[in-house]
């Protein structure tokens, strides 16, 4: 089996399980600065699948591609710690405010720069939007087949890959030719942990912009001169030759008209204790009004 | 003509439940717009399918009947839908937020370079004034969905890159037959003319679809447990009560994650949406992700040790106490009082 070139699409997401009240801006967009961030959980499954294929086919290259603000460089470092060979950041203020259509356009411009490739893997969906759209949107723009909700890659030959998909009511096994795009379901194996050796090796990996920050000390710059692999490539609008009309807000057809916080309404509820008398009274009422019985 | 389109899923020559719901939702939008409702139905052996589709008030059915279209594969369905949508240029296109709809719709949105809102729970028609252009856009689709872990409800619009597309969650829209004898025009699609070899490169080699024996959606009474139930063993009380009352047992995501109950019984935003006449929430705090899937129950009982649990705010009866204490008492007094 020939080695494959795999691109893993990974997103840094706000940890929606820990949403504070200041998380939304008045215009309804997310105030990402106010939230702790994590590696999107499904994307970690995609990374694991890529690394698993690399274990099975020596020489396979795994590249993590992320799009986001500077702090998303954490995603690239995390990828390195767990076993990725390379990482690319797509980062430029002008990409900001993108919906899934503009995001897929931007990612595809980056992917095209990395072509040729055999496989693109991404999580099924990201927890900050749960849309599950970007994978299929990229596949369409790249004009390649998509295999969504992948739980397991069963086998491969030089020309095709066989995978098991997890559907709502069952499973399906499909074969697709290379190149193709797969979105990975959360029922696939969880990602391996960081590897201590790699953590040591890539601890100081930085983007150029990160290095330019004032707090960077001299030694870190020298280290990057000596070990160029530590410098994470960073692509902006011009690097990927993106059309300004197709990125950011301008390239995003969907707009937030309004946002409402959820306030649960309370009609008068009957508050009961767990005493026998209270519970018997309630049961009798429910029987009388034919809710039960 | 500006029209509303619905992509229908077909299972064993039957229109899927979600697609029936969508046709009804689409009809309501079409009526507000004064425009026709059109359905895209792709599959194999669909000679009699119009009888199932038309009664929802469908004016035109775009029918693609070919053995290569079943079971569903993305590329052939996408190619045919693209062809139809480019030609017809509808105003609105709806898909189920199912494993099929969530696979197909983004592919089409990408091809047509248009907006797509995922997992809507409410659809409406309304206007929007765009400040920058000093222009009022009339009759836009309001695609309303929970966002951001369910803590907010967002109204998503798209005024300039049409069609306006949305996927809609299963069990959210009400199914309504307009007229059993409603007449739909049928437009047969020339499949051979559209499909190319590259649409067929992906092959299905095995398929296991299990019909779930759990039917939460149809159950009149649901006893649902959360993390507060405490253990898998304590869920036995819920099953006992449910057997007695003729209901089904469901669970919150926390209970599923804790391994107390199977995934196929999960209720809420990432599970099933239910509308029973009685919903007993046992040890469920009531995060919006959960309540989004059950708040339309006719009567809600919340059993919780925490008097401040959000579930209590939407409950008709609140019982402050431990589930393993309260449910056995409910069983006892039901047995005593039921005739």
What are the tens digits of pLDDT across the range B128-177?
999 999 999 999 999 999 876 666 789 999 999 999 999 998 878 989 99
Place A27 in a pLDDT band, splitting at 50, 70 and 90.
low
Stronger pLDDT, A170 or B118, i.e. the higher one: B118
Residue A21: the pLDDT is 56
Say whether pLDDT at A22 is over 80: no
> pLDDT tens-digit profile of B265-275?
999 877 788 88
Q: How distant is the Cα of B142 from the closest Cα of chain A, in angstroms?
A: 9
Stronger pLDDT, A292 or B70, i.e. the higher one: B70
Contact A2, A160 (CB under 8 A): no
Contact across the interface for A136 and B117, Cβ inside 8 Å? no
Looking at domain A5-246, its CATH class is: alpha beta
Pairing state between β A37-39 and B248-251: unpaired
Which helix (H) or strand (E) is A66 found in, with range? Answer: strand A61-67
Q: How distant is the Cα of B28 from the closest Cα of chain A, in angstroms?
A: 21
Spell out the residues 6+ positions from residue B46 whose beta carbon is closer than 8 angstroms to its own. B10, B13, B63, B65
Residue B210: the pLDDT is 74
Residues of chain B with Cβ-Cβ distance to A269 below 8 Å are 302, 312-313, 315-318
Task: Give the residue from B18, B73, B109 with the most A CB atoms within 10 Å of its CB, the best one to mutate.
Answer: B109
User: What is chain B's Cα-based Rg?
Assistant: 22
Instruction: Taking residues B96-122, report their average pLDDT.
Output: 96
Instruction: Taking residues A11-39, report their average pLDDT.
Output: 71
Task: Tell me the CATH architecture of domain B221-337.
Answer: 3-Layer(aba) Sandwich (3.40)
Find, among B183, B253, B258, B246, the residue nearest to B219 by Cα: B246
Q: For all residues of chain A together, what is the average pLDDT?
A: 92
Say whether pLDDT at A162 is over 90: yes
Residue B34, both tokens: 């004064």
Task: Name the residue facing B334 among A272, A276, A292 (closest C-beta).
Answer: A292
Say if B12 is an interface residue toward chain A (CB within 8 Å).
Answer: no
Contact across the interface for A137 and B110, Cβ inside 8 Å? yes
Compute the distance between CA of residue B280 and CA of residue B297 in angstroms, rounded to an integer. 10
Task: Name the residue facing A136 among B103, B205, B208 (closest C-beta).
Answer: B103
Pairing state between β A86-90 and A234-235: parallel
Residue A14: the pLDDT is 87
Buried b or exposed e, range B140-160, using 16+ CB within 10 angstroms: bbbbbbbbbbbbbbbbbbbbe
Contact across the interface for A253 and B161, Cβ inside 8 Å? yes
Q: What are phi and psi of A189, to 5 degrees?
A: -60, 145
Task: Name the residue facing B204 among A16, A174, A276 (closest C-beta).
Answer: A174
Spell out the residues 6+ positions from residue A55 whose beta carbon is closer than 8 angstroms to its own. none
Residue B96: the pLDDT is 96
Task: Name the residue facing B317 among A130, A270, A293 (closest C-beta).
Answer: A270
Instruction: Taking residues A8-18, report their average pLDDT.
Output: 86
Residues of chain B with Cβ-Cβ distance to A128 below 8 Å are 148
Residues of chain B with Cβ-Cβ distance to A148 below 8 Å are 74, 99, 102-103
Say whether pLDDT at B209 is over 90: no
Residues of chain A with Cβ-Cβ distance to B150 below 8 Å are 262
> pLDDT tens-digit profile of B230-263?
999 999 999 999 999 989 999 999 999 899 998 8
Q: How distant is the Cα of B15 from the closest Cα of chain A, in angstroms?
A: 16
Task: Give the residue from A18, A104, A130 with the most B CB atoms within 10 Å of its CB, the best one to mutate.
Answer: A130
Place A291 in a pLDDT band, splitting at 50, 70 and 90.
confident
Contact across the interface for A270 and B320, Cβ inside 8 Å? no
Compute the distance between CA of residue B307 and CA of residue B312 in angstroms, rounded to an integer. 7
Contact across the interface for B314 and A141, Cβ inside 8 Å? no
How far, in Å, are B29, B121, B181 from residue B3 at the CA level? 10, 21, 21
| Topology (CATH) of B4-200 | Rossmann fold (3.40.50)
Say whether pLDDT at A24 is over 70: no
Residues of chain B with Cβ-Cβ distance to A257 below 8 Å are 128, 142, 155-157
Contact across the interface for A279 and B319, Cβ inside 8 Å? yes
Q: How many CA atoms lie within 13 A of B285 on its CB side?
A: 11
Whether B4-200 shares its CATH topology with B221-337 is answered yes
Q: How distant is the Cα of B54 from the closest Cα of chain A, in angstroms?
A: 27
Residue B149: the pLDDT is 61
Residues of chain B with Cβ-Cβ distance to A17 below 8 Å are 149
Q: How distant is the Cα of B310 from the closest Cα of chain A, in angstroms?
A: 8
> pLDDT tens-digit profile of A212-245?
887 778 899 999 999 999 999 999 999 999 999 9
Q: How many CB atoms lie within 10 A of CB B55?
A: 18
Compute the distance between CA of residue B253 and CA of residue B261 in angstroms, rounded to an integer. 9
Residue B1: the pLDDT is 57
Stronger pLDDT, A267 or B69, i.e. the higher one: B69
Q: How distant is the Cα of A288 from the closest Cα of chain B, in angstroms?
A: 10
Mean pLDDT is lowest, of A14-23, A189-198, B109-118, B271-280, for: A14-23
> pLDDT tens-digit profile of A197-213?
999 999 999 999 999 88
Smallest CA–CA distance from A259 into chain B, residue = B154
Instruction: Taking residues A242-251, report their average pLDDT.
Output: 96
User: Where in chain B are the domains?
Assistant: 4-200, 221-337
Mean pLDDT is lowest, of A256-260, A280-284, B198-202, for: A256-260
């Amino acid at each position: 089996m020939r080695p494959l070139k795999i691109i893993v699409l990974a997103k840094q997401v706000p940890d929606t399980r820990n949403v504070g009240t200041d998380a939304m801006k008045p215009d309804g967009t997310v105030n990402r600065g106010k939230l702790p961030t994590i590696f999107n959980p499904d994307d970690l499954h995609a990374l694991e699948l890529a690394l698993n294929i690399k274990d099975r086919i020596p020489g396979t290259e795994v590249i993590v591609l992320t799009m986001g603000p500077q702090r998303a460089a954490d995603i690239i470092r995390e990828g390195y710690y767990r076993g990725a060979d390379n990482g690319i950041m797509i980062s430029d203020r002008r990409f900001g405010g993108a919906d899934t259509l503009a995001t897929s356009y931007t990612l595809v411009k980056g992917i095209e720069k990395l072509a040729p490739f055999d496989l693109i893997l991404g999580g099924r969906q990201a927890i900050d939007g749960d849309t599950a759209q970007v994978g299929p949107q990229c596949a369409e723009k790249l004009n390649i087949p998509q295999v969504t909700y992948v739980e397991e890659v069963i086998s491969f030959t030089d020309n095709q890959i066989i995978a098991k998909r997890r559907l709502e009511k069952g499973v399906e096994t499909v074969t697709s030719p290379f190149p193709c795009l797969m979105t990975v379901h959360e029922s696939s194996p969880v990602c391996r942990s960081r590897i201590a050796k790699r953590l040591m090796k890539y601890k100081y990996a930085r983007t150029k912009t990160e290095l330019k920050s004032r707090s960077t000390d001299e030694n870190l710059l020298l280290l990057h001169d000596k070990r160029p692999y530590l410098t994470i490539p960073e692509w902006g609008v011009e690097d990927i030759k993106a059309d300004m009309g197709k990125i950011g807000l301008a390239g995003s057809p969907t707009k937030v008209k309004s946002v409402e916080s959820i306030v649960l309404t309370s009609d008068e509820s009957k508050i009961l204790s767990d005493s026998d008398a209270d519970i018997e009274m309630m049961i009798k009422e429910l029987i009388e009004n034919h809710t039960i019985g | 003509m500006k029209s509303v389109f619905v992509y229908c899923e077909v299972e064993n020559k039957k229109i899927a439940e979600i697609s029936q719901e969508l046709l009804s939702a689409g009809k309501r939008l079409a009526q507000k717009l004064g425009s026709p409702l059109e359905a895209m139905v792709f599959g194999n052996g669909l000679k009699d399918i119009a009888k199932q589709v038309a009664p929802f008030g469908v004016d035109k059915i775009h029918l693609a009947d070919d053995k290569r279209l079943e079971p569903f594969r993305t590329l052939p369905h996408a190619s045919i839908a693209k062809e139809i949508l480019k030609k017809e240029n509808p105003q609105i296109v709806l898909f189920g937020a199912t494993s099929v709809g969530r696979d197909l719709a983004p592919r089409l949105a990408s091809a047509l370079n248009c907006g797509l809102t995922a997992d809507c729970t409410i659809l409406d028609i309304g206007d929007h004034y765009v400040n920058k252009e000093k222009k009022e856009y009339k009759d836009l689709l309001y695609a309303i969905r929970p966002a951001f872990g369910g803590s907010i409800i967002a109204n998503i619009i798209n005024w300039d890159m049409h069609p306006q597309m949305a996927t809609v969650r299963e069990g959210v829209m009400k199914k309504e037959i307009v007229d059993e004898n409603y007449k739909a025009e049928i437009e047969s699609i020339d499949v051979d003319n559209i499909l190319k070899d590259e649409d067929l490169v992906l092959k299905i080699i095995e398929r296991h679809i299990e019909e779930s024996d759990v039917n939460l959606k149809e159950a009149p009474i649901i006893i649902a447990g959360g993390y507060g139930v405490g253990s898998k063993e304590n869920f036995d009380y819920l099953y006992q009560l449910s057997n007695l009352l003729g209901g089904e047992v469901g669970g919150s995501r926390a209970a599923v994650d804790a391994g107390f109950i199977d995934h196929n019984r999960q209720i809420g935003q990432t599970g099933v949406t239910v509308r029973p006449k009685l919903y007993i929430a046992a040890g469920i705090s009531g995060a919006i992700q959960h309540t989004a899937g059950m708040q339309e129950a006719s009567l809600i009982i919340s059993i919780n040790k925490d008097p401040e649990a959000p579930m209590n705010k939407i409950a008709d009866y609140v019982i402050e106490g431990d589930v393993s204490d309260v449910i056995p008492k409910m069983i006892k007094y039901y047995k005593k009082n039921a005739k």
